[in-house]
Structure 1
């Protein structure tokens, strides 16, 4: 579970490359493109920025939010009110990155804005909780408590775990879940991944919001290997 400096450097390299592609993507997406076209555009950017392979590109979208977080991108046309989810598992020199970003086509509806913010804050809590010497289940509990706050519109999802590790394989142990008592140590890679279900602003149907960042545990706490997702959901205009 503890990675060498060389391994961490490879993971940092691929996470930074994919982060840059995600950061640029908002201005490249446009109304009328399909999920598949959006993901191909993203993959092209990954190769331009030095990624070796893009073996796991999941996507979902829907008006007022998406209802699943994994699956092949489809030919669904993206239009006003849609929220697009892209989850990217990419490789550099045999080592993985794995994290997602969310995009709103047009100004996001109030429910999506509120839940995006709540899950973003829960991610902050998870990053802060990933301290050396503590059991990883404490990270799960901290995020679960943040998601379950009485002021939140939604509630913690039933996916189960809220993260994992990765390296030559994806996922790897330990798992960010309630019954994993693995003690965090410097050199561990942790994917912080809280999620929340909430009612659609438009029809009340169940939607999902998920955030994921990658950190390495150090002697002084967790250090981001990804660039942090924006505090407000990126808007495609």
Structure 2
């Protein structure tokens, strides 16, 4: 069904046959989750290329209308052989998912074939709108993440390190049926929380400080994303005031979510509120992003990027304020765009928490 939808879109764009090299796109379209595979989508059928390690597995998962081609030499030889055998004179490729080196080698292998890069990835557009099964898997990933946060509230205490917490997150997810973390957990204490993509260190959690945790899991191939900021032992009044601003900014953005809303305008709902409170320069990143097979996928929710929210997109809403040398606050939820507006899939408390 997904391949048929893609084929219809490619024909509409006049961008067929189409070579897909991105393994996440291949997994989405065929179910194949190995480490080596290439997919050529043509007007009548599709050809999947992989080596002997995956032959039996690939044949068991790829759609019936997708032909398997065994890669016996290197990938470029296999792609070239497949294309020449079918008399293809022009092929479109994923511009955003191939390296310059890959493109150069492909040109050598296909010296008599016109290669046309496609900048606007049509698979990304399909992946942005989830079906009911995908939504169910993301909901379960979010539920596991919520349970992890509840567990951490019992685990965290003064004296444990950021690294201890990061390892505990990974262990909890794997113990609860997840293949891995969605990304390396961000566990940022004290002044480290002012760095949005801080890397945990062997640094002890100190009483009176702040702790920012950004985490997610991969459950049956689908991701979750959650950020909460908590206080250790006692509240820092200045940071508590910032927490309230971030909380209100997120609430306003959440209440604005609905199908048809421009993503740039959604970003501005939170950004304008934070700016009005005097912290506009301390909110540098975008408001959110799509979530699915990848932790970051379409749509991007940030200023100066315009796209429309659609029903069954899954996105994050994650405003933050970061004060260099002092600390930062971010609150993030994974959110489903519904017909009526939105459904927050991560349920962990956003009350100001002191442990």
Normalised by the length of structure 1, the TM-score is 0.88
Describe how 1:121-140 pairs up with structure 2 within 5 A: 121-140=248-267
Cα displacement string for residues 165-186 of structure 1 (whole angstroms, at most 9, x for unaligned residues):
0111120011111222211110
| Aligned pairs for 1:92-103 within 5 A | 92-103=219-230
In structure 1, the gaps of 5 or more residues are 200-204
Residue 309 (structure 2) aligns with: 184
Q: Which 4+ residue blocks in structure 1 deviate beyond 4 angstroms?
A: none
The answer to which structure has the higher helix fraction is 2
Q: Could you state the TM-score of these two structures normalised by the residue count of structure 2?
A: 0.60
Q: Deviations over 1:58-100 (max 9, x none)?
A: 221115x722122331100111122111211310001111221
Most deviating of 54-63 and 182-191: 54-63
TM-fit CA distance, 1:163: 0.6
Question: Counterpart of 2:212 in 1: which secondary structure?
Answer: strand
| Map of 2:243 onto structure 1 | 116
> Equivalents in 2 of 1:148, 1:140: separation in Å?
12
Query: Over alpha carbons, which structure has the higher Rg?
Result: 2
Partner of 1:207: 327
Q: State whether residues 59 and 70 of structure 1, in contact with CA within 8 Å, keep that contact through their aligned partners in structure 2.
A: no
| 1:1-237 to 2 correspondences below 5 Å | 1-56=128-183, 57-62=185-190, 66-150=193-277, 154-155=279-280, 157-198=282-323, 205-232=325-352, 234-236=353-355
- 1:184-208: CA deviations, max 9, x gaps? 1101011001111347xxxxx4532
Offset of residue 159 of structure 1: 2.5
Which residue is 2:120 aligned to? none
RMSD over equivalenced CA pairs, Å? 1.8
Q: Which has the higher contact order (CA 8 A, sep 6+)?
A: 1
> Quick one: distance in 2 between partners of 1:183 and 1:62?
37
Structure 1 residue matching 2:301: 3-state secondary structure: coil
Higher strand proportion (structure 1 or 2) = 1
Tell me, what secondary structure is at the counterpart of 1:235?
coil
Count, aligned residues:
227
User: In 1, distance between residues paired with 2:166 and 2:177?
Assistant: 17
